[in-house]
Amino acid sequence: MTQESETLREAGGEQHETTEKRGEAGERVCPECEASLVVDDSHGETVCESCGLVVEEDEIDHGPEWRAFDSNERAEKSRVGAPTTKLLHDDGLSSVIDWQDRDAKGRTLDGNKRRKLQRLRTWDERFRSKNAQERNLKQALGEIDRMASALGLPESVRETASVVYRRALEDDLLRGRSIEAMATASLYAAARQASIPRSLDEFEPVSRVERKEFSRAYRYIVRELELAIEPANPLEYLPRFASDLELDEDTVGRARSLLEEGMERGVHSGKSPVGLAAAALYAASILEGEKITQKEVCSVSDVSEVTVRNRYTELLEAGTDPDAARAL
């Protein structure tokens, strides 16, 4: 056998000896002693924590080439911007000129440079919205963010609302309709899709248009975009109302039972889900002996006392609970 073949055989034997091995749980282990492996990022090596065998070397470091010891230093050295988002009309890809009139060393600029920088900001703002469609989208997304903040809606709902509005804009559904109405309708549709209960009464004070206008826009968007939105469920409103009223879990459970029995008998058909949820909590509080008034229930649910009394009677009549019959 030639020396070259012996060398190849020895090389092949070494490669076979360092073949990757797996433990019982599927994790990588040392091919020599079957101990756990650790990754040494500073040297780019994977070594055995027991015998010190270097299993891999010259690994690629996917992190930055610089080091930072606090958050401020990390922010100064980082060259990466924020991730893209549908909450901005340009997906967050454009640049923004800082509003502080200071140079790179933190020194205040003189009057001439401040005026020049202000002109640059103006042109930068104009270039970020190149046409009427982008200006429309920018204004609408600002409205969506404002209303979502006032209603306490999460960022996922805002993202969905922005996508709904973009689809309406692309399909030319905004012709003859106000930006505020379509933005409100998009946010309401997104909240309904995410099963986060917010009633039209709650949207009315934060919207810049009347309820009739954004209700019409909502029905138009759902029909034209063929959005899959299920009817509002009164059960979805119970946790929020109960939390505002600080009710016990037993009362909430009783209210849930009353609603489920009423829905089985069709009491909810044609009725406001908000009014049903408020009435169920009021009825359950009476059955459980908690002291809350109709006025308190109406204040958190934004429905009238007449609605609570009517739905309260209907739920108790539809229920099979003997205590409910006595409460009537």
User: Any idea what the CATH number is for the domain that residue 36 is in?
Assistant: 2.20.25.10
Q: Give the CATH number, domain containing residue 137.
A: 1.10.472.10
Summarize the confidence of residues 244-252 as an average pLDDT: 87
Domain finish residue from 204, 225, 246: 225
Q: pTM for the complete prediction? A: 0.60
Read off the pLDDT band of 54 (50, 70, 90). confident
Asked if 139 and 133 touch (Cβ cutoff 8 Å), the reply is: no
207 and 264 both lie in a single domain: no
Same domain membership, residue 204 and residue 139: yes
pLDDT at 72: 75
- 250 and 204 belong to one structural domain: no
Counting the structural domains of the chain, the total is 3
Of 165, 193, 225, the residue at which a domain comes to its end is 225
Domain contains 158:
yes
Partners of residue 48 on adjacent β-strands: 37
| Top mean-pLDDT range of 101-115, 122-136, 201-215 | 201-215
Output the pLDDT for position 81. 62
Q: Are residues 238 and 210 in the same domain?
A: no
108 domain residue, yes or no: no
Q: What is the mean pLDDT of residues 121-142?
A: 81
Is pLDDT above 70 for 3? no
Of 225, 259, 279, the last residue of a domain is 225
Q: The domain containing residue 163 runs over which residues? A: 132-225
33 is in an annotated binding site: yes
Q: 299 vs 11, 63, 116, 202, CA distance in Å?
A: 81, 53, 53, 12
Q: What is the pLDDT of residue 89?
A: 67
Residue 322 lies in a domain: yes
Give 256-303 pLDDT, tens digit per residue: 888 888 888 887 777 888 888 888 888 888 888 888 888 888 888 888
What is the pLDDT, as a whole number, of residue 4?
44
Asked whether residue 71 is domain-assigned, the answer is no
C-beta of residue 190 within 8 angstroms of C-beta of residue 164: yes
Question: Do both 272 and 196 map to the same domain?
Answer: no
Q: Is residue 116 part of a domain?
A: no
Q: Is the dihedral of CA 92, 94, 98, 99 positive or negative?
A: negative
Mean pLDDT, the chain, whole residue set? 80
Q: Is the pLDDT of residue 103 over 50?
A: yes
